[in-house]
Structure 1
Amino acid sequence: MTQLPIDEILPSLKKAIGSGNAVVLKAPPGAGKTTRVPIAILDALEERQIPGQIWVIQPRRLAARSVANWIAHSREENVGETVGYHVRLDRRESARTRIVLMTTGMFLRRMQSDPLLEQAACVVLDEFHERTLELDVAIAMTHRLRSELRDDLRMVVMSATMETAPIADYLNRDDAKNALEMQCEGRTYPVTIHHGDDRPKERLEQRLIEPICNALSTTDGHVLVFLPGVADIHRVQRALQSSQAFESSTPTQIPNIVSLHGSLSPKEQDAAIRTSANRKLILATNIAETSVTVDGVTAVVDSGLAKVPRFDSRRGMTRLETTAISIASADQRSGRAGRTSEGHAYRIWSMAAQRSREEYDVPEILRSDLSGVMLMLASHGEKDLSAIHWLTPPPPHAADSAGDLLKMLGALDFSGRLTQIGSQMAEMPLHPRIARMAIEASQSMSRETVAALAALLSERHPFESCASMSLSEMVHAITHKTIPRNVTASALKSFQRIIESIGRSLPQSIANESLPITSETPSEIAIAKALLAAYPDRVVLRRADTPDRGRMVGGRGVVGLQSVLGEANQSPLVLCWDVDGGGVESKVRSAISIEEDWLDSNQIAERDQQTWDTQKQSVRCRHQTLYGDLVLKETPGKVPGDETTEQLLFENTRSLLPIGGAKFEKRLQRMGLVASVMDEVAPFDDAMHEELLRQLCHGKSSLAELQRAAWFDHFLGLVGYDVWQIVEREAREEIALPGGRRVPIRYEDGKPPWIEVKIQLCFGWRDTPRILGGRVPLQLHLLGPNGRPQQITNDLASFWANTYTEIRKELRRRYPKHDWPENPHDATPTHHGMKRR
């Protein structure tokens, strides 16, 4: 057997495993950790005659299958003998199997049915640097099991790029047996890194042609191209096939262009990585980043991008975001070129951009939907995610959102305990929504039909290019083996195997064996009701004026309803189970009409909604029927005049203060003047004014009612009668003129108190009249016979002595019949102002 770098530390690893220590192992790509460590552990267990299996956990199905095949081949055995694998919808294992390569999801399902992991002697978490959500759950649950119940369970955490110290510290917190750190220096061939230029405005496929051509012309082996998604793979393939530069760069041998991504069947994935004498250009997603070795790869072309699922707890949706990979991931990808010989790695971003990237990927637990994890943990009796010792604790808002969803689906009760429906859902290897759909669908559909629906909703299927087909038509095509024109028989057959596997995984408790198996075509109504059970938070009320748009439960806007449902469909209620979470409004990808009486009655509420009508300046009331926060029906109702009414009236009229009329406003101004001079009277401030308004809002619902209210009566109740008597005395409403007539005193904020009076009515007044015990003079607006102002003064004596003489000349000329005495302060005032006969 070829010597590999990992072999140097295997004796220490075997000793640690024999002693029961946990091991945290770091070994670079190509060191052989994934293929050699499980064999070394098996040797250590057999030497000590320790029974049980070694479970090697891989984040990806392709890696689990390929590694199992490689180890089995190295032992000259078939898969399923000493070495087996278990991935979703595919399992090769027997009673003889000691090493099982499995995906993280399968590991967690096994833990659910076997909480003590009685079959396992050692758990190996490989490629831990990927920090998927399931890996974080796996390490937390395995570590707790070792710490509390199974100190004999061995544990190894491995990766090529992770830092070992934080993992070891985490495991050593509660572990009586120390977690040991081990590192292997490795032996990889030199890889020359080439950086490109940052050209963000240029399309990705165009930016990749040049580095792909360079990789093909400078090396002789296979070329591995990392792309963010399947659509990008197709675009790059089309761009290469139409590029003259691509053909001219490989004059001797045009490589076979193959794809490698998670949507391919296992057979297609295995064919892509199989050793081949013909040169290959492999267009891959990050499925090829770890564990999978493609022999003969001498060059890597890296887009530096990956599609990352990100859960928005506010919207309750997960969306795929194309993001820049971390430095660790870029190094991992580049290492693929140096596995078997010297190689080259072409990165399309600049060195400056490389330095600005994150060092490691953000753990998925910080950005994922936690509902599946919470359901699994609830089946173990865990009600609180925060009670678990996490390597990286999940965000509280994401945990709350997951709990809310599971309660909405009926999986958890209000205390967080698993319900009967939740127990059924936890048995299925499906997302909680799809599991809930399966339970509902089983009431009217056969097991095969339920499995078909689950597969169509959770897996990539051959009908994705058939945009006009409904779900019921797809199910009919599957159950009746009718193949649409643009669907191949092989694709439908491959998808049928997935359906059969899901059907086998469905618990007997939801199987409706009395229904026909192959002749059933479920109605749109049955499908809609099943989908509604799974997506109760995706109910949309269409806008009456723009039926292409609507509002989803939770307030999110959606667009594109007519393109999905058709112009003829005008159903007011729609279930949009597949929407794009990005953008201002969510783009609808799949939707179906529903009826109001299908909605869960427990989610229906009646309420009287009061709002402020700015046009009528009053509170109005509408009686509403709601589903969540969606208003299904609304009719006019009587304003109840309760606390809500009063609060609405108060909030919408406080900015209009004062609103008690001119007479009340004048009283406020009089009080304000007295308070500015006399300590006995406190000012009537904004707080008191708002308190007065709040009292007057009781039993009223409009501004008009407020304006008619008894403001002064309530005002007296606030300030006190004795205080108001002081105001009445010191800042009286009127003043008597020398001739006995009375005129009102004007009070305005920011101005001195003043009166308006004709000059002839002031004859006999020697000095300026005063109020507030003589402390405040009145300002006199002196008018001529025509009522127009002639002088404004607050010093009447000075006016008589100085200004009056000049004004008198002009007034005598204009009004000769009027009396204009030379000595006005000794003259008798007259109302009409005429000379005496």
Structure 2
Amino acid sequence: MGELPIDRVLTQLKEKLNEHTNAVLVAPPGAGKTTRVPLALLDEPWVAGRKIMMLEPRRLAARAAARYMASRLGEQVGETVGYRVRLDTKVGPKTRIEVITEGVLTRLLQADPALEDVAAVIFDEFHERSLHADLGLAFALESQAVLRDDLRILVMSATLDATPVAALMRDAPVVVSEGRSYPVETRYLSKPVEGKLEPALAACIRQALAAEEGDLLAFLPGAGEIRRVERLLLEAGLGPQVRIAPLYGQLAQGEQDAAIAPGVPGQRKVVLATSIAESSLTVEGVRIVVDGGRMRVPRFSPRTGMTRLETVTVSRDSADQRRGRAGRTAPGVCYRLWTEQEDRRLAPHRAPEIMEADLAALALELAAWGVADPAQLAWLTPPPAAAYGQAVALLKQLGALGDDGAITPHGRRMAELGVSPRLAHMMLRAVPLGLGGLACELAALLSDRDLLRSRPGSPNADLRLRVEALRGAGNVQAADPAARRRIAAEAEQGKRTLGVPGEQRDEVNACGMLLAFAYPDRIAQNKGSGRFLLSGGRGGSFASPQPLYGEKYLVVAELDDQGADGRIDLAAPISEEQLHRVFADDIETETAVAWDRAAQAVRTRKREKLGALTLREAPVEAPDPEQVLNALLEGIVAEGLSMLPWTKAAKQLRERIGFMHRVDPAWPDVSDEALLVGLKEWLGPHLYGLKSRDDLQRLSMAAILDGMLPWPQRQQLDDFVPTLITVPSGSRIPVDYSDPASPVLAVRLQELFGLRETPRIGGGKVPLLLHLLSPAHRPVQVTRDLASFWQDAYFEVKKDLKGRYPKHVWPDDPLTALPTNRAKPRV
């Protein structure tokens, strides 16, 4: 093998790691850092016969790197160089370089924080900023600071800004490899792609194969798009000299190896890959890159508590990495399925996964590490406080953390399983029920692609069908046999970890009950027409009618984040008996006594509640009288005082008391505001035994208001605020107290002849507002000063009245004239 660009800086890197415990290596794609650096460091004095661990973000890259390094030594994988990835380990007693994936590093650190037999930990492709890489670096730095001051930590990246990483690693030295790449011509579209991506990408591949030489690497978002483009190319008939090779994470290992292996002489290879081919591994022979400009990333939704894969536009650094794949061994060309204008709008970098991911697993790992607050560790990007708080709340609900935030024995067992906390909790809770095998199958199914999702015309969301497809039972066939084998292997691994017999086959109707352990916030109650209410408070519905429509209760495993009611994509039914068995300690019984606006009455119900769901409801035979009273009072507040039976006498009494309160604040305040504030004190004692608006009509509001007055005020009431005033004519005229600021006496002018002063009330403090009326009871003057009226205004009024009412007597001196309530006074 010839010299690679990284070889020129290996001596400098060794010197830095001899002088320092930390270093950062920046080297572009193709420089050779992944396969050259571990071998170069193996015989350094500080290694002292211990191991070098290299972290790779992807299983495919980890296996490929280990195989390549082993071949350089003329050995098989598992001798000096080995690898550990989930479900596949090849290491031996002589292994000194282990290439591991991110979850494996976390498990090793938790089991042995000091990493006693490890000399160095290398973080490869750190620019991808995966959650486990950030967590692993934080753990390794603390282990180095507290337990192993001789532990070397090397961060390697192709596109990373080294300054902040070096600062995080205690001002680590930075080594830069300039790399070597051949020129790559970049070609853009003249206008944006219209319609679906797959036909445009297949057409571009055919055009590139016709115009260029060498093998071709095309980037697509996911396996579904890869299969559709593969079908389009096969239908186009590229000929026997062109081999199409899919490459994605869930593909069988043999097919992955074939995709990255050198092509057969005389045959061209078209590799259809996800972003898995961006870095860490070399696809031999590639001279052409066709970039669809899309990638699939996990996004956590705080609203649903779920992580979903979303298709997004690639970032600038990802696009440049993809283009670089065409210039590894010779000049190449990169076709980009976007315009130059669109290219200028690309984001520089993709956001670190820690900013967008579900942090429940991270919070559990920190608790197992003994850290309650993430701020105790060194982070390149600290976990967002809100998302971390939500994760801690979930772990407490699952029993993984205590109220003090410390990990529980159950939480420690969850952390050891290496699956998401929800699924780990489900697996552990299933074992005592004899359902451990089914739980492992469910965990494997929910951790991978849907076995039936890609089948056309199959909208059935029932998770039980997936279990049957996984088992090969009945007539349900998996859409992807390779995926079925992979998921089955994952389930068997889980059974071995839990100690569950591999041949155990559990009743699939227990699926919903087990899902409820994992998703207690997604137990769903049927509300009709395919709509469900979830125990967490959200709504969910099916996109189209299907067998689960009629189930009374479901547990939702997958729910999208669109609108008020998310679309239910995957669920299983659960019976009421199972709900009560699983959540006996969580079901709360409450007696609800509340005002029912529709019925205009207090309704008393006994309810069994699970979160937002009401499981059972029945009337209460003998409700607490105090609760009924309070509910009735709440109803009066909600409806207003107008619902009380205010007779004419009660209204007048309230107005009279209201007037006196203005004159003397010692009298009760009977305004709406004051009565509502003190409702329980003045009205409550009269409401016992009443429940409805109709019942309230039996109240005597006049008697209740009268009872609010102390005895002295009750004695003064008629003297201070009379209901009637006797005027000179002998008539008894009612006083209008509707405006407490200005009580009114409306009286015909003729009935006041001989009265010199305005009548007063309120103990003589307040003159009445006189509405002086014509014989036809129409107002002719409004005054509080009767004496001034007789002196100044009467004579003008007299002229007008004498003309309109000639049969009535209009004396020149009203103070000496006889008052009358007739046309003429009696003699």
Q: TM-score, normalised by structure 2?
A: 0.86
Deviates more, 1:399-408 or 1:48-57: 399-408
What is the CA deviation profile of residues 79-122 of structure 1, one whole-angstrom value per residue up to 9, with x for unaligned ones? 11221111111111111111111110111122222232223211
Aligned partner of 1:17 in structure 2 is 17
Aligned partner of 1:175 in structure 2 is none
What is the CA deviation profile of residues 617-651 of structure 1, one whole-angstrom value per residue up to 9, with x for unaligned ones? 45433221111231111223366465896488458
Deviates more, 1:99-108 or 1:25-34: 25-34
Instruction: Find the residue that maps to 1:282 and give its secondary structure.
Output: strand
Aligned partner of 1:538 in structure 2 is 522
Residue number among 655, 667, 677 corresponding to 1:691 in the alignment: 677
Figure out how many residues of one structure are paired with residues of the other and give that number. 802
Contact 1:313 1:397 in 2 (8 A): no
Deviation at 1:347, TM superposition (A): 3.3
Q: Give the aligned residue type for 2:324.
A: G
The residue correspondences of 1:346-365 to structure 2 (distance < 5 A) are: 346-365=335-354
Residue number among 824, 829, 832 corresponding to 2:819 in the alignment: 829
Aligned partner of 2:217 in structure 1 is 224
Contact 1:17 1:41 in 2 (8 A): no
1:33 matched to 2:33? The reply is: yes
Contact 1:438 1:451 in 2 (8 A): yes
Residue number among 541, 548, 559 corresponding to 1:579 in the alignment: 559
Distance 2:37 2:731 in 1: 114
The residue correspondences of 1:182-261 to structure 2 (distance < 5 A) are: 182-196=175-189, 199=192, 202-208=195-201, 211-213=204-206, 215-238=208-231, 255-261=242-248
Contact 2:24 2:173 in 1 (8 A): yes
Aligned partner of 1:295 in structure 2 is 284
Instruction: Find the residue that maps to 1:583 and give its secondary structure.
Output: coil
Contact 1:56 1:126 in 2 (8 A): yes
Q: Give the aligned residue type for 1:2.
A: G
Q: Give the aligned residue type for 2:799.
A: T
Aligned partner of 2:162 in structure 1 is 164
Residue number among 729, 751, 764 corresponding to 1:761 in the alignment: 751
Distance 2:164 2:145 in 1: 18
Q: Give the aligned residue type for 2:495.
A: G
Deviation at 1:123, TM superposition (A): 0.4
Distance 1:227 1:487 in 2: 20
What is the CA deviation profile of residues 564-611 of structure 1, one whole-angstrom value per residue up to 9, with x for unaligned ones? 5345xx442222223334332122222222223233211111112344
Distance 1:397 1:836 in 2: 91
Distance 2:270 2:682 in 1: 81
Distance 1:353 1:284, change over 3 A: same
Instruction: Find the residue that maps to 1:116 and give its secondary structure.
Output: coil
Deviation at 1:725, TM superposition (A): 11
Distance 2:360 2:444 in 1: 19
Distance 2:293 2:751 in 1: 95
Deviation at 1:529, TM superposition (A): 3.0
Instruction: Find the residue that maps to 2:506 and give its secondary structure.
Output: coil
Aligned partner of 1:284 in structure 2 is 273
Distance 1:89 1:730, change over 3 A: same
Distance 1:755 1:231 in 2: 89
The residue correspondences of 1:594-743 to structure 2 (distance < 5 A) are: 594-596=574-576, 597-637=580-620, 640=624, 642=626, 646=630, 649=633, 653=637, 656=640, 662-663=651-652, 665-667=654-656, 670=659, 674=663, 688=674, 691-693=677-679, 695-696=681-682, 698=684, 705=696, 712=705, 735-743=725-733
Distance 2:3 2:631 in 1: 81
Contact 1:821 1:827 in 2 (8 A): yes
The residue correspondences of 1:334-733 to structure 2 (distance < 5 A) are: 334-443=323-432, 445=434, 451-460=440-449, 462=451, 464=453, 467=458, 475=467, 492-493=484-485, 495-504=487-496, 506-508=497-499, 511=500, 513=501, 518=503, 520-543=504-527, 546-560=528-542, 563-566=545-548, 570-596=550-576, 597-637=580-620, 640=624, 642=626, 646=630, 649=633, 653=637, 656=640, 662-663=651-652, 665-667=654-656, 670=659, 674=663, 688=674, 691-693=677-679, 695-696=681-682, 698=684, 705=696, 712=705
Instruction: Find the residue that maps to 2:225 and give its secondary structure.
Output: helix
Contact 2:59 2:101 in 1 (8 A): yes
Q: Give the aligned residue type for 2:133.
A: L
Instruction: Find the residue that maps to 1:437 and give its secondary structure.
Output: helix
Q: Give the aligned residue type for 2:771.
A: H
Instruction: Find the residue that maps to 2:412 and give its secondary structure.
Output: helix
Distance 2:553 2:273 in 1: 41
Deviation at 1:809, TM superposition (A): 2.1
The residue correspondences of 1:52-201 to structure 2 (distance < 5 A) are: 52-172=50-170, 178-196=171-189, 199=192
Instruction: Find the residue that maps to 2:154 and give its secondary structure.
Output: strand
Aligned partner of 1:267 in structure 2 is 254
Contact 2:682 2:708 in 1 (8 A): no
Contact 2:540 2:568 in 1 (8 A): yes
Contact 1:650 1:693 in 2 (8 A): no
What is the CA deviation profile of residues 367-413 of structure 1, one whole-angstrom value per residue up to 9, with x for unaligned ones? 21222233333333344444433332212332232233333333333
Contact 1:5 1:186 in 2 (8 A): yes
Deviation at 1:691, TM superposition (A): 3.4
Q: Report percent identity of matched pairs.
A: 37
Q: Give the aligned residue type for 1:27.
A: A
Deviation at 1:560, TM superposition (A): 1.6
Deviation at 1:694, TM superposition (A): 5.8
Deviation at 1:561, TM superposition (A): 8.9
Distance 1:402 1:138 in 2: 19
Contact 1:222 1:299 in 2 (8 A): yes
Deviation at 1:540, TM superposition (A): 0.9
Aligned partner of 1:801 in structure 2 is 795
Q: Give the aligned residue type for 2:541.
A: V
Deviates more, 1:125-134 or 1:461-470: 461-470
Distance 2:129 2:434 in 1: 39
Contact 2:77 2:90 in 1 (8 A): yes
Deviation at 1:207, TM superposition (A): 4.9
Q: Give the aligned residue type for 1:310.
A: R
Instruction: Find the residue that maps to 2:652 and give its secondary structure.
Output: helix
Q: Give the aligned residue type for 2:271.
A: I
Contact 1:472 1:523 in 2 (8 A): no
Deviates more, 1:325-334 or 1:478-487: 478-487
Instruction: Find the residue that maps to 1:745 and give its secondary structure.
Output: strand
Distance 1:708 1:404, change over 3 A: farther
Deviation at 1:726, TM superposition (A): 11
Deviation at 1:166, TM superposition (A): 0.9
Distance 1:664 1:293 in 2: 95
Cα RMSD (Å) of the superposition?
A: 3.9
Q: Give the aligned residue type for 1:104.
A: E
Distance 2:801 2:35 in 1: 116
Distance 1:213 1:693, change over 3 A: farther
Q: Give the aligned residue type for 2:581.
A: W
Structure 1: gaps spanning 5 or more residues: 173-177
Contact 1:542 1:548 in 2 (8 A): yes
Distance 2:660 2:728 in 1: 27
1:305 matched to 2:294? The reply is: yes
Contact 2:192 2:339 in 1 (8 A): no
Deviates more, 1:299-308 or 1:459-468: 459-468
Q: Give the aligned residue type for 2:64.
A: S
Distance 1:807 1:630 in 2: 76
Residue number among 765, 771, 796 corresponding to 1:781 in the alignment: 771
Deviation at 1:125, TM superposition (A): 0.7
Contact 2:592 2:604 in 1 (8 A): yes
